[in-house]
Amino acid sequence: MPRDRDLATRTWPEVGAMGPDAPVALLPVGSTEPHGPHLPLETDVIISVETARRAAARLESRGLASLVLPAVAYSVTDFSSDFPGCIGLSRETSLSLLAEICRSVLSQGFRAVCLVNSHLEPDHLAVLREVSSRVAAETGKPVIFPDKTERRWATRLGEEFRSGACHAGRYESSLVMAVDPALVRESIRKTLPENPTSIGRKIKEGVRSFREAGGDQAYFGDPASANPSEGEATYEILAGMIETAILEALS
């Protein structure tokens, strides 16, 4: 998607001129962590940014102004901390960072903030829930967090996602391929055997790392079956999810 709805491409007078038509701020949130041997470390960021841009286009078509904020690329990444390239924050630091961003945005007159997230580690999701409730209570403005692990959203996102075997598998690989296929190491992806282990189920059983769960190459699912068409279709679902959550919160 084009960057014409990105806050970072605007000048300060352009942002200030939005005045009474206070936009909704979309904050993409991801991680810098391994996604198999075939996807880049920024996979979650790529997915969140693309989802936010598509959601902004949908909101604009409804007459609702929105801007996509610069992405937060660091979060709690304890499950993959023993892989090269993983850069993680403590839960406390992540909570402070995200809360400060939301407060700053809302203090400038933005109507609401929506956290557009693609990183599904449990402690990270807990941080986002706390940020949403805490900052909304402090400011009196909506801080919206559509949690795709909740049943109302998860049921729309395909069999692999629902199974919990969806870290760098078909689901995420398809989404990256739809944005920039050059980022996917195709010669590797096509040779990867399916790892049907549900990381979601393993987490409920008390597992605390990808390796412990059976993900020695930091992927779960079936990346070899990924395709960009599926990624395109999934983005439409994800963008619609963000659009729906924002419209509900503002109604």
Angstrom distance (rounded) from CA 81 to CA 31: 12
Closest by CA position to 60, among listed 1, 11, 115, 109: 1
pLDDT at 163 over 70: yes
List the beta strands (DSSP E) in 127-233: 143-144
**The pLDDT value given to residue 44:** 98
Closest by CA position to 192, among listed 179, 209, 173, 211: 173
Note whether 144 and 111 are within 8 A (CB): no
pLDDT at 1 over 90: no
What are the structure tokens assigned to 216, written together? 């020695």
SS3 250: helix
Mean of pLDDT values over 96-117: 97
**The pLDDT value given to residue 16:** 85
**The pLDDT value given to residue 5:** 92
Average pLDDT for the chain? 96
Mean of pLDDT values over 63-68: 95
List the beta strands (DSSP E) in the chain: 24-29, 66-68, 112-117, 143-144
**The pLDDT value given to residue 22:** 80
What are the structure tokens assigned to 134, written together? 């805490």
Mean of pLDDT values over 135-141: 98
Angstrom distance (rounded) from CA 169 to CA 199: 11
pLDDT at 21 over 90: no
Closest by CA position to 143, among listed 20, 25, 12, 11: 25
**The pLDDT value given to residue 20:** 62
Cβ burial 34-61 (10 Å sphere, 16+ → b, else e): bbbebbbbbbbbbbbbbbbbbbbbbbee
**The pLDDT value given to residue 134:** 98
**The pLDDT value given to residue 193:** 98
**Domains in the chain, start-ordered, CATH in brackets?**
7-250 (3.40.50.10310)
pLDDT (tens digit per residue) in 169-206? 999 999 999 999 999 999 999 999 999 999 989 999 99
**The pLDDT value given to residue 60:** 94
- Residue 17 — pLDDT band, cuts 50, 70, 90? confident
pLDDT at 101 over 70: yes
CA distance readout (Å), 76 to 28, 80, 120, 139: 15, 10, 10, 25
pLDDT at 45 over 80: yes
**The pLDDT value given to residue 18:** 79
What crossing angle do the helices spanning 122-139 and 91-107 adopt, rounded to 10°? 30
**The pLDDT value given to residue 2:** 79
pLDDT at 4 over 90: no
Angstrom distance (rounded) from CA 1 to CA 56: 10
Note whether 135 and 106 are within 8 A (CB): yes
Mean of pLDDT values over 92-113: 97
Note whether 24 and 110 are within 8 A (CB): yes
